[in-house]
């Protein structure tokens, strides 16, 4: 976690930051774009777009196999990006940083590979009621295969999952605790450090789904002590199609490969194969090389701004946005946990969330509506969907005022 601070972090120069994102200059339906769908994916700064383009224009070659100059260049750039991810997460070694397609693939990898070795009939996997489907469905599939049972710690009325609800469900049958760091549908921040400590005290490893945390706060996997941490590049201002599985080396080492193919082997005969060293054992086939390099550029970008400053900026915006939405007649916020990140999920009286989203879109305001791939959250609150504004580093108080005004106009249309 971030070092102890004596004064608040310096404010962001958001006007300057916005100039780094070409898409923010465009209009939508003739109106300036107000992009408030960052939990789905964030926009890309020029540094990321250019890093990908530069790779294709100047270095494109396959990696880890060519003796030629270009292949060595491409390999060096890709491995430099892996080192950037290691430093970003403060992992002990690059052996612990596996490139995958995204958070979804990372969870599937662990469910499949860790599951094979460790999960048997009668065992339990513990999740919470606020998980994204990608940290739920792979475990359900593993349970169906093995006869293990998925146990979920419930959400309270504010959208929080009290620590006791998690702790009380850890038993001698629990083989893994798999929890979100930050909820995409509610914004709830879970006390992951305490969850890891308690689970470890009972000898149970912990996977953290950091897809909604990594873009918004400093994450230090060694300070957290977690066993696995997953995230997607495209939510942290990086490219789509690339993400990271962090795993403690001893655990990854003991896990069987996930997919077979090129690059993940040490030797192959027609009869049998032996596996490459970490992390390559889990990286079969040609990866998203440009994406990995772009992700490295994205992490450089957010690090140069400073995750502490990004967190403070978004916390200030969340407070402003919460006040503004509460001031709109007929709006009910869904997700009011004491520890929250920049997600404003809401309902508007008498109007379906999709209609809210469609009308706001006409004004150039992009939000997401629906179940946010977290249907159990919707079930818990007895609603089909919410409208969700989610914040990023380039958002402003003026944009949140535009959102509130827009919602007022939606209410007028349906009055
Ligand atoms: N975990 C969480 C907490 C997420 O919010 C998401 C995506 C994922 C995992 C999966 O990430 P992927 O990159 O592998 O797809 N969340 C959202 C969302 O809130 N709106 O669109 C995608």
Do 353 and 253 belong together in one domain?
Answer: no
Question: Using CA atoms, how far apart are residues 227 and 352, in angstroms rounded to an integer?
Answer: 41
Do 249 and 316 belong together in one domain?
Answer: no
Do 272 and 348 belong together in one domain?
Answer: no
Do 40 and 55 belong together in one domain?
Answer: no
Token pair listed for 212 = 């909604």
- The residue annotated as part of the active site, out of 225, 373, 383, 408, is 373
Do 120 and 190 belong together in one domain?
Answer: yes
pLDDT at site 8:
59
Do 242 and 167 belong together in one domain?
Answer: yes
Do 232 and 347 belong together in one domain?
Answer: no
Distance 186 CA to ligand 1 centre (A): 13
Question: Using CA atoms, how far apart are residues 246 and 106, in angstroms rounded to an integer?
Answer: 9
Q: Which secondary-structure segment (H or E) carries 381?
A: helix 375-381
Q: From the centroid of its chain, how far is CA 401?
A: 27
pLDDT tens-place string over residues 287-326: 999 999 999 999 999 999 999 999 999 999 999 999 999 9
**Cβ(387)–Cβ(356) under 8 Å?**
yes
Task: Please state, in angstroms and as integers, the Cα–Cα distance from residue 259 to each residue in 65, 108, 113, 318, following that order.
Answer: 19, 11, 9, 41
**pLDDT reading at 59 higher than 80:** yes
Do 23 and 99 belong together in one domain?
Answer: no
Asked whether residue 392 is domain-assigned, the answer is yes
Asked whether residue 7 is domain-assigned, the answer is no
pLDDT tens-place string over residues 360-409: 999 999 999 999 999 999 999 999 999 999 999 999 999 999 999 999 99
pLDDT at site 255:
97
Longest dimension (CA), the chain: 72
Asked whether residue 169 is domain-assigned, the answer is yes
Do 60 and 125 belong together in one domain?
Answer: yes
Whether the pTM exceeds 0.75: the reply is: yes
Distance 92 CA to ligand 1 centre (A): 26
pLDDT tens-place string over residues 160-182: 999 999 999 999 999 999 999 99
**pLDDT reading at 6 higher than 70:** no
pLDDT at site 7:
59
**pLDDT reading at 51 higher than 60:** yes
Q: Structural domain of residue 376, as residue ranges?
A: 14-44+306-413
Asked whether residue 6 is domain-assigned, the answer is no
Q: Decide which of 272, 304, 336 is a domain's last residue.
A: 304
pLDDT band for position 5 (cuts 50, 70, 90): very low
Q: Decide which of 304, 334, 366 is a domain's last residue.
A: 304
Asked whether residue 352 is domain-assigned, the answer is yes
pLDDT tens-place string over residues 198-238: 999 999 999 999 999 999 999 999 999 999 999 999 999 99
Residue 335, phi-psi category: left (phi > 0), alpha (psi -120 to 50), beta (remainder): left
Distance 40 CA to ligand 1 centre (A): 6
- For a mutational test of ligand 1's pocket, the pick from 192, 212, 334, i.e. the residue with the most ligand atoms closer than 8 A to its C-beta, is 212
- For a mutational test of ligand 1's pocket, the pick from 109, 211, 228, 288, i.e. the residue with the most ligand atoms closer than 8 A to its C-beta, is 211
- The dihedral through the CA atoms of 75, 76, 77, 83 has a sign that is positive
- Here the CATH number for the domain that contains residue 70 is 3.40.640.10
pLDDT band for position 9 (cuts 50, 70, 90): low
**Is 373 marked active-site?**
yes
Cα angle 134-139-140, degrees, rounded to a multiple of 5: 100
pLDDT band for position 36 (cuts 50, 70, 90): very high
pLDDT at site 11:
85
**Cβ(165)–Cβ(190) under 8 Å?**
no
Token pair listed for 367 = 């939000």
Say how many domains are in the chain: 2
- Here the CATH number for the domain that contains residue 364 is 3.90.1150.10
Do 283 and 345 belong together in one domain?
Answer: no
pLDDT tens-place string over residues 235-281: 999 999 999 999 999 999 999 999 999 999 999 999 999 999 999 99
Distance 316 CA to ligand 1 centre (A): 24
**pLDDT reading at 118 higher than 60:** yes
Do 353 and 295 belong together in one domain?
Answer: no
Asked whether residue 403 is domain-assigned, the answer is yes
Asked whether residue 363 is domain-assigned, the answer is yes
Q: Decide which of 304, 319, 343 is a domain's last residue.
A: 304
pLDDT tens-place string over residues 84-117: 999 999 999 999 999 999 999 999 999 999 999 9
Asked whether residue 128 is domain-assigned, the answer is yes
Pocket of ligand 1 (CB under 6 A): 39-40, 102-104, 132, 134-135, 180, 184, 209, 211-212, 232, 368, 372-373
Do 195 and 211 belong together in one domain?
Answer: yes
74-80 LR contacts (CB < 8 Å, sep 24+): 74/289, 77/293, 77/296, 78/287, 78/289, 78/292, 78/293, 80/296
DSSP string, 301-337: HHHHH-HHHHHHHHHHHHHHHHHHHHTSTTEEES---
- For a mutational test of ligand 1's pocket, the pick from 134, 376, 385, i.e. the residue with the most ligand atoms closer than 8 A to its C-beta, is 134
DSSP state letter for 273: E
pLDDT at site 306:
97
Q: Which residue shows structure tokens 């440009």?
A: 290
């Amino acid at each position: 976690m971030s070092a102890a601070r004596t004064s608040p972090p310096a404010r962001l120069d958001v006007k300057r930051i916005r100039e780094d994102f070409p898409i923010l200059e465009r209009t939508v339906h003739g109106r300036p774009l107000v992009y408030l769908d960052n939990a789905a994916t964030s926009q890309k700064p020029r540094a990321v777009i250019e890093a990908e383009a530069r790779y294709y224009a100047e270095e494109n070659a396959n990696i880890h196999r060519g003796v030629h100059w270009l292949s060595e260049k491409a390999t060096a750039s890709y491995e430099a990006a892996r080192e950037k991810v290691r430093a970003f997460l403060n992992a002990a070694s690059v052996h612990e940083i596996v490139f995958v397609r995204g958070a979804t693939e990372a969870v599937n990898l662990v469910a499949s590979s860790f599951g094979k070795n460790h999960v048997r009939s009668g065992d339990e996997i513990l999740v919470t009621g606020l998980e994204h489907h990608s940290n739920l469905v792979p475990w359900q599939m593993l349970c169906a295969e093995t006869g293990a049972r998925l146990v979920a710690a419930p959400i309270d009325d504010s959208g929080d999952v009290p620590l006791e609800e998690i702790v009380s469900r850890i038993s001698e049958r629990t083989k893994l605790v798999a929890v979100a760091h930050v909820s995409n549908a509610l914004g709830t921040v879970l006390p992951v450090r305490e969850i890891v400590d308690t689970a470890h005290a009972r000898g149970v490893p912990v996977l953290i789904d950091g897809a909604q945390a990594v873009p918004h706060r400093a994450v230090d996997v060694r300070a957290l002590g977690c066993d696995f941490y997953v995230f997607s590049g495209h939510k942290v201002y990086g490219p789509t199609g690339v993400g990271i599985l962090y795993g403690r080396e001893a655990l990854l080492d003991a896990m069987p490969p996930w997919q077979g193919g090129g690059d993940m082997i040490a030797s192959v005969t027609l009869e049998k194969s032996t596996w490459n060293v970490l992390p390559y054992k889990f990286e079969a086939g040609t990866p998203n090389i440009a994406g990995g390099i772009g992700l490295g550029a994205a992490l450089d970008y957010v690090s140069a701004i400073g995750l502490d400053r990004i967190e403070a900026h978004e916390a200030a915006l969340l407070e402003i946005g919460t006040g503004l939405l509460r001031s709109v007649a007929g709006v009910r916020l869904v997700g009011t946990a004491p520890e929250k990140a920049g997600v404003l999920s809401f309902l508007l009286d008498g109007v379906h969330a999709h209609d809210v989203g469609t009308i706001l879109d006409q004004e150039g305001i992009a939000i997401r509506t629906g179940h946010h791939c977290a249907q159990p959250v919707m079930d818990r609150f007895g609603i089909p969907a919410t409208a969700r504004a989610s914040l990023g580093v380039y958002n402003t108080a003026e944009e949140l005022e535009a959102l509130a005004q827009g919602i007022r106009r939606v209410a007028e249309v349906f009055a």
